[in-house]
Amino acid sequence: MINSDINIREFTLVAKNKNYKAFLLYIDGMIDSKTINDFVLEPLMLRNKSNTYLSDNKKDFSIAIASNISIKKRAKNFDLEDFIYNSLIPQNSISKETEFSKIISDVNSGNCALFIDTLSIAFSIDVKGFKARSVSTPNNEIVVRGSQEAFVESIRVNTSLIRRIINNENLVIENTDVGKVTRTKVAICYMKNIANDNLIAEVKYRINNLLVDSVISSGELEQLIQDSTYIAVPQIIATERPDKAANHLLEGRVVVIVNGSPYVLIMPGVLVDFMSSPEDINLRYQFSNLLKIIRFIAGVFALLLPGIYVAVSNFHHELIPTELLFAVAASRQTVPFPIIFEILLMEISFELIREAGLRVPSPIGPTIGIVGALILGDAAVSANIVSPILIIIVAITGICSFAIPDFSLSFSLRFYRFIYIILGYLLGFLGIGFGLFVHGIILCSIKSFGVPYLSPYMPVNNTKTELSYLLPPIWKREKRADFLNTKRSKSQNKISQEWKYN
């Protein structure tokens, strides 16, 4: 016994007045000791009416004689395996296993294995009792008006959170294992009466054909099953919100839950999804559309503003009003460095402050970010290393990047921002225009599980759904997105507010 946490409990099993050698195999810390004592060991070890002969009771003996059934015949036909399974173990989850690999996998996941002398099978009994984080509020997808529950690391808790929202028998949750070493539990969820069968089959095919030793988190699985691995844009939605996952299931998408990860994957994902917030459907469509327009402007600024500033400063002075041009030129008179050095220095400094704010202890993280940015910016201007206008540009760019709802898309914009800065410095607006042209071609060529990345606009599809960027009124969201090819195209009747017309 090399492993100190693996326990083997040997005991004598009593069944129909006969004794059998048996033992339990389990991992300490992953099981509930009270459950094993009360519902496994006690029924198997103690003498009671369930594990004694009928002949021990005179009344039962007379009944047996009256029915012309001999006790010897009953003893001869006695099946120990079925008797233990059906009569002795009062546990709700128990299975018969014939392979050691399955037994080992179950024991590692928190079950106990029961081995009995003379039987060629083992019983896998669910007695999980390890500590797990309770359901709490979301940390990264915070909304004002909406659900305040978030996924946790337990796969069964996560599936129950979804089932509590979607109270329908058509919700299917299939389990599979990923990783030859870790055998990580993965749950594939979909609505069988809505989701496209080809989409479901494609998701299952990709997950079941991963020849890797381990998959620990949903982030690793996302990278292994996405279509385009060399393009730095998110193609699969990751969320910690059960209400968002349930909403996408009802649209006809597939949700994948990885055991041990508080984020679930939703596929397919298109660009519109990453610019949308879970709160959009809870607000009036006028308010949601205003916020969506603000997010779009923030996305453009986060991607292009530093590059445009560099291009204008180097090549296109005529675009700046004369008075502003003189002010900018005066602020840069004492700066000895070229503008590309200034902008890269401040952008890298901003990224360092952002990363440091995530790594330091949480009580002082915000303080480090705010104080660090103020002190560094003021010191850089005072030392004539950068110009004041550049501090404003970098600050606006950073604020706009925080306005992007999806973390992966925000990271993608931050990555491509540096490319546009270099293109603007080398070729001005021509370089930025060329970059946008190539970027657009790349986005048009991407597909997420067979769905074009720029749907529903390229190619043009039905945009009068909640999957379009600007939301129509909720009473006009009658159809699901065409690009999902769902089995049920309509999500509500044409006249959904029937109370108005009765």
How many other CB atoms are there within 10 angstroms of residue 37's CB atom? 11
Contact 45, 13 (CB under 8 A): yes
- Amino acid making up residue 138: P
**Alpha carbon of 98 to those of 22, 113, 307: distances in Å?**
16, 11, 64
Specify the residue for token string 């054909």: 209
How big is the chain, counted in residues? 502
Integer Cα distance of 162 and 241 in angstroms: 10
Q: What is the pLDDT along the chain (502 residues), one digit of tens a residue?
A: 688 889 999 999 888 778 899 999 999 988 988 999 988 998 888 866 655 554 444 444 444 444 444 445 555 567 888 888 888 888 888 999 999 988 998 898 889 999 999 999 999 999 988 877 888 899 888 888 888 999 999 999 999 999 999 999 999 999 999 999 888 999 999 999 999 999 999 999 999 999 999 999 999 999 999 998 888 899 999 999 999 999 999 999 999 999 999 999 999 999 999 999 988 988 999 999 999 999 999 999 999 999 999 998 888 888 888 887 777 777 777 777 888 888 898 888 888 878 877 777 666 656 566 666 666 777 777 777 778 888 888 889 988 998 999 999 999 999 999 999 999 999 999 999 999 999 999 999 999 999 999 988 888 766 556 578 888 888 888 888 888 999 998 888 888 888 888 7
The candidate with the shortest Cα–Cα distance to 430, out of 315, 306, 279, is 315
Integer Cα distance of 502 and 496 in angstroms: 12
Cα 72 to its chain centre, rounded Å, is: 59
Specify the residue for token string 């079941």: 208
Integer Cα distance of 22 and 229 in angstroms: 52
Contact 226, 238 (CB under 8 A): no
Q: Using the CB atoms, write b or e for 228-257: b if 16+ within 10 Å.
A: eeeeebbbbbbbbbbbbbbbbbbbbbbbbb
Query: What sign does the CA torsion over 141, 142, 147, 150 have?
Result: positive
3-class SS of residue 311: helix
The candidate with the shortest Cα–Cα distance to 288, out of 144, 141, 399, is 144
Q: Which residues contact 434 (CB under 8 A, 6 or more apart)?
A: 423, 427
